Structure 1
Amino acid sequence: MYLTGTEQHALRGVFALLAEDDHGEQEIRERLGRALLDLLHADQFASFVWDAGSGNFDARVALHMDPANLDRYAQWHQHHDPITFVLQSRRRATRVTEVMPQRELMRTPFFNDFLARDGLHWGMNLHAFEGGRALGDLRIWRRKCRGDFGDHEKALLDLIEPAFAGALQRAQRAAASAAAVPAPAAWTLLSAREQEVARCVREGLTDKEIARRLAVGVPTVRTYLRRIFDKLGIERRSALAGWAVPPAR
């Protein structure tokens, strides 16, 4: 694989970033996204983590995309997305045009009501896994005028994938270790209802199961979870699952 001098320099920076151990998952994905926009001559970047328990792509990071448009993705478009689950199943760098012809994609509401609003036209995804568990993804897009990604860009992204997955795994282990330390002061920041939801997550219940147990709607459960994450300073359910939750009284 031939690399230009500019690409060699950029890759050294990427691997140095991914070798550092003092960043959280979200910061890793954001900083890598900025580097990939330059390396791959791209315009927009987004990254999510697939949460099998809730059936959602959460923990978003995005560059050069409208937050309101991304909110619509979280609420509706991700559940009517014709490409991402196919791209996810590949588990390697894959161009969107490899799973759906561009003309066909451009006829979908997903393209016209979501992608096109931010100028996303040509896409490439990489979804990192540890066994069957999703670690995080990289979604890189170009505007129409730049043209599609090629095999060279795919090879660059595949080259980065092992270091990306390793960095996320280390960050998750560090977060879980920190969360396992009892923190009664932080726990008291949660309301009684939020504490109930946290205990349900510790039991491994999904959002729907929590909603049934507490007799509330699934959106209400997700609101509680966002508040819990904010108060405890964590980003994902896995960190909450590792938190030292005091027993119910």
Structure 2
Amino acid sequence: MYVTAQESRALSRLFGLLAEDLAEREVRERIGHHLLELLSADQFASFVWDTPSRSFGSGVWLNMSPDNLASYDAYYQFNDPITLKLQARREPTLVSQIMPQRELMRTEFFNDFLARDGLHWGVNVFSYAGVRNIGDLRIWRGRHRENFDLRTLELLRLVEPAFTGALIRAGGAPPRLMPEPAVAPRLSQREFEVAMMICEGLPDKVIAYRLGVETSTIRTYLKRIFDKLGVHRRSGIAAAFARNR
């Protein structure tokens, strides 16, 4: 995927933020500004799913009315034709992929909630820790803008693993698998850093952005890690670390 200079700068700032030691709510609050810049978007919101009540709460937002969001908490999320469908898809998804825009525009949810704040074209990302939905990103453009596109989805696929990792760290998740001396001495410091990010599930492009190198360099590191650990796929790296905890 080709990334423009402007997108590269926005992604660098975004990944820098997600590498910081932030509280869970702060992660979701601060990422919104970077996503509006990266995706040339107009509105942003983020919620956390509560399984027992089957509802979204702990909302943060940009360029939306608090009163309108209060109506979402109280009513519209329970009369929402799109969000649970988006939540079920474990990848960035355009709203128009799960419901045609004309059909959405005929709903109460659109006319009495979305349109009040000028939300028209949407794209959502839902982060998971195992089977648990731990947070989401809801990005919107106004009526007189163009819809988000496949390029938007590619950019969000870069962002989602780092966002998920930041939420997991902020939520007090168990520490990452750390290798015993039987594994660690085989790897250089940079190879070790790459291996740890692979264990977190980050793709090569995200690791490259974090380390400030080319994606091809990460693939070279990956080949060396495979050779040194005697494995043939990314899952083998995590398995090698787990065996030597």
Both structures adopt the same fold (TM-score exceeding 0.5): yes
Q: Deviations over 1:26-46 (max 9, x none)?
A: 111111011000100000000
In the alignment, which residue of structure 2 is the partner of 1:188? none
Q: What aligned pairs does 1:99-248 form with structure 2 within 5 A after superposition?
A: 99-173=98-172
Deviation of 1:144 after TM superposition, in Å, equals: 1.2
Structure 1 runs of 4+ with >4 Å offset: none
Deviation of 1:145 after TM superposition, in Å, equals: 1.2
Unaligned residue ranges in structure 1 (runs of 5+): 177-249
Distance in 2 between the 1:55 and 1:161 partners? Answer: 23
Q: Are residue 81 (structure 1) and residue 57 (structure 2) matched?
A: no
Deviation of 1:125 after TM superposition, in Å, equals: 0.1
In the alignment, which residue of structure 2 is the partner of 1:20? 20
Distance in 2 between the 1:28 and 1:112 partners? Answer: 30
Deviation of 1:65 after TM superposition, in Å, equals: 0.3
Unaligned residue ranges in structure 2 (runs of 5+): 175-245
Instruction: State the TM-score, normalizing by the size of structure 1.
Output: 0.69
Deviation of 1:55 after TM superposition, in Å, equals: 1.4
Q: Deviations over 1:64-108 (max 9, x none)?
A: 000000000000000010000000011111000000000000000
Deviation of 1:161 after TM superposition, in Å, equals: 0.6
Q: CA RMSD in A?
A: 1.4
Q: Which amino acid aligns with 1:4?
A: T
Distance in 2 between the 1:158 and 1:137 partners? Answer: 13
Q: Are residue 38 (structure 1) and residue 37 (structure 2) matched?
A: yes
Distance in 2 between the 1:96 and 1:41 partners? Answer: 17
Q: Deviations over 1:148-185 (max 9, x none)?
A: 000011110111111000000000107x9xxxxxxxxx
Q: What aligned pairs does 1:61-72 form with structure 2 within 5 A after superposition?
A: 61-72=60-71
How many equivalent residue pairs? Answer: 175
Q: Are residue 11 (structure 1) and residue 11 (structure 2) matched?
A: yes
Q: Which amino acid aligns with 1:15?
A: F
Deviation of 1:54 after TM superposition, in Å, equals: 1.6
Identity fraction in percent: 57
